[in-house]
Amino acid sequence: MRVSQALKERKSVRAYLDRAVEKEKIEKILQFAKYAPSGVNMQPFNVHVLSGQSKKDLEAKMLEAFDSQHKESMDYQYYPLEWREPYKSRRKATGLLMYQTLGITREDKAKQIAQWRANYQAFNAPTVLYFFIDPILEKGSYLDYGMFLQSIMLLATELGLGSCPMASLAEFPSIVKDTLNVEPEQLLLCGMALGYEDSEATINSYRTPRIELDEFVTFYE
């Protein structure tokens, strides 16, 4: 598979088959992804891979927290505190597209909550990855981590797997760290669902649009 093909085929998969991901595939993905570039070769990656009962145990704790309306603060600010254009419109359009695909109306709060709740089960993916970073590192290492995460997703696509990077899985950092015995000082960046896509699931049928080059590229000669 060409890189260009993997880039176009990759999408955020939100429904998975009840089929375990072979450990050999996970190891292969991470073995290649580790070659992602990082400033002065710091390699700031810290990955925890959960499948089976370990995944179920952690997600049960997060679901309990969500259902009881327990709130935690993420270890860093992911989204802007004030939404401005064009980001405000893009965010709204993305949410509307997903709910329209599922036939969930703006008034049906129960179904909206149920769909959001599925985040904490990683959409029933058989495997979930959690990513941590040392708090002494700065914004440059976040750039490095982004390239690492993209590498994982492209490699997953090449191997016939679906994935979904999920900031929502970092909304209960203390629960995740306590369960995984991770030092509390470590910053939880995000999680990632990994598994075989359920291609017949309605939610996997939509694709978010991308802007044209002239909207974000300036050429100089």
Q: What is the pLDDT of residues 166-214, one digit of tens each?
A: 999 999 999 999 999 999 999 999 999 999 999 999 999 999 999 999 9
Q: What is the pTM of this model?
A: 0.95
Distance CA 213, CA 126 (A): 37
Burial class of residue 205 (count of CB atoms within 10 Å of its CB; 0-12, 13-18, 19+): exposed
Mean pLDDT of 144-170: 98
**Is residue 73 scored above 90 in pLDDT?**
yes
Which of left, alpha, beta for 41 (phi over 0: left; psi -120 to 50: alpha)?
Answer: left
Higher pLDDT, 106 or 116: 116
Each domain of the chain, given as residue ranges in start order, spans 3-76+120-205
Over residues 107-139, the pLDDT tens digits come to 899 999 999 999 999 999 999 999 999 999 999
Mean pLDDT of the chain: 96
Mean pLDDT of 13-26: 98
d(CA 185, CA 197): 35
CATH superfamily placement of domain 3-76+120-205: NADH Oxidase (3.40.109.10)
**Rounded to whole angstroms, how far apart are CA atoms 168 and 141?**
21
Query: Cβ neighbours of residue 7 under 8 Å, at least 6 residues apart?
Result: 154
Greatest CA separation for the chain? 58
Q: Residue 106: pLDDT band by 50, 70, 90 thresholds?
A: confident
Collapsing DSSP to helix, strand or coil, 207 comes out as coil
